């Protein structure tokens, strides 16, 4: 009975927190039901971020205030679109804009977890001729924003499972990117299409302390793998950050494919610490409701990890 009472209390708390972050008033709820979840986040071993492009605020100053409203500790700040340009469509090459973004971060208390090169979800890291410039622009932005991690998804055109012939060129370019990141003591966190065993081999082939994994729950699930086992295979030293969400369908708290307490236990035992970043896991019945979806997922992650 005692355990059931605890379960019910936790369920009711999460429901209240999720509704509150969506701007829905709950009868009998305290003024700030997430206060307990957001206290002392500066000392937390795990911090929770959201992707600025997924909350529809790519390179917008208002991303910070929205992240603050849904009680996220940080945002993953995108470099901007690529298209057919020579480099990213980024405001952050302008020192005046950098100053404004840093001030927005300071005033809201919302950190920048990492700088993202999300353009490579759809573009080829192996084949674009100006990748060297793109990476340098990203590293310059990391330095200006005082951020030590850059996220690099290799995407559909850099899928080395489907296109293994791209592997040598990607390894070569990542070694070069690692040298650039190393000059500011930074890390390029790469998301590949490999499972953990193959990704570990790949990272060992790249052989750079400045190239690590951006581990994605959704990729592990896609491969039919257990998330905790995949994390253990990769190991603490290879993981720079974690995209802590599944594909869209249901909120994380309702996702039977994600055993979040078990994942926390695994990361605790590994002695890993860092940023957990919510990318998706939106409820398909209200996929456009940014505050409800990301507020609920942030609240749930905080209830487990903080």
Domain boundaries, the chain: 36-305
CA distances from 10 to 7, 49, 246 (A): 5, 22, 22
pLDDT, tens only, 192-233? 999 999 999 999 999 999 999 999 999 999 999 999 999 999
Q: Cα(20)–Cα(78) distance, rounded to whole angstroms?
A: 27
CA 117 to mean position of chain CA atoms: 12
Query: What residue has token string 């307990």?
Result: 36
Other CB atoms within 10 A of residue 273 CB: 12
Q: What are phi and psi of 150, to 5 degrees?
A: -120, 135
CA distances from 71 to 182, 260, 301 (A): 32, 19, 11
The class (CATH top level) of 36-305 is: alpha beta
pLDDT, tens only, 225-242? 999 999 999 999 999 999
pTM above 0.85, yes or no: yes
DSSP conformation letters of 14-82: HHHHHHHHTT---TT--S-TTHHHHTTGGG-SEEEEEETTTTT-TT-THHHHHHHHTT-SEEEEE----
pLDDT in tens, the chain (306 residues): 444 444 444 454 445 444 444 443 333 333 333 333 334 445 789 999 999 999 999 999 999 999 999 999 999 999 999 999 999 999 999 999 999 999 999 999 999 999 999 999 999 999 999 999 999 999 999 999 999 999 999 999 999 999 999 999 999 999 999 999 999 999 999 999 999 999 999 999 999 999 999 999 999 999 999 999 999 999 999 999 999 999 999 999 999 999 999 999 999 999 999 999 999 999 999 999 999 999 999 999 999 999
CA neighbor of 78 nearest in space, from 175, 152, 129, 174: 152
Other CB atoms within 10 A of residue 289 CB: 15
Question: What is the structure's pLDDT at 71?
Answer: 98
Structural tokens at position 196: 């953990």
């Amino acid at each position: 009975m005692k355990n059931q009472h605890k379960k019910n209390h936790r369920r009711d708390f999460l429901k209240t927190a999720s509704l509150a972050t969506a701007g829905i008033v709950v009868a009998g709820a305290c003024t700030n039901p997430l206060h307990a979840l957001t206290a002392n986040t500066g000392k937390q071993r795990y911090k929770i971020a959201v992707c600025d492009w997924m909350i529809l605020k790519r390179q917008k100053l208002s991303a910070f205030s929205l992240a603050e409203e849904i009680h996220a500790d940080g945002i993953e700040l995108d470099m901007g679109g690529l298209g057919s340009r020579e480099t990213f469509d980024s405001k952050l090459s302008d020192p005046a804009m950098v100053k404004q973004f840093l001030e927005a971060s300071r005033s809201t208390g919302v950190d920048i977890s990492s700088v993202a090169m999300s353009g490579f979800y759809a573009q080829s890291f192996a084949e674009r001729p100006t990748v060297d410039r793109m990476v340098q622009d990203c590293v310059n932005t990391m330095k200006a924003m005082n951020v030590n991690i850059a996220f690099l998804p290799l995407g559909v055109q850099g899928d080395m499972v489907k296109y293994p012939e791209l592997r040598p060129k990607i390894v070569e370019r990542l070694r070069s990117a690692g040298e650039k990141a190393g000059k500011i003591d930074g890390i390029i966190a790469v998301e590949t299409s490999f499972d953990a065993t193959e990704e570990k081999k790949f990272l060992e082939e790249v052989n750079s302390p400045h190239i690590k994994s951006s581990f994605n729950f959704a990729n592990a699930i896609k491969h039919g793998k257990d998330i905790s086992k995949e994390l253990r295979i990769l190991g603490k030293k290879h993981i720079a950050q974690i995209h802590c969400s599944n594909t869209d369908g249901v909120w994380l708290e309702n996702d039977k494919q994600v055993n979040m307490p078990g994942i926390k236990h695994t990361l605790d035992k590994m002695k890993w610490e860092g940023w957990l970043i919510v990318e998706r896991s939106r409820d398909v019945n209200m996929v456009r409701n940014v505050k409800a979806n990301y507020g609920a997922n942030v609240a749930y992650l905080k209830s487990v990890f903080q």
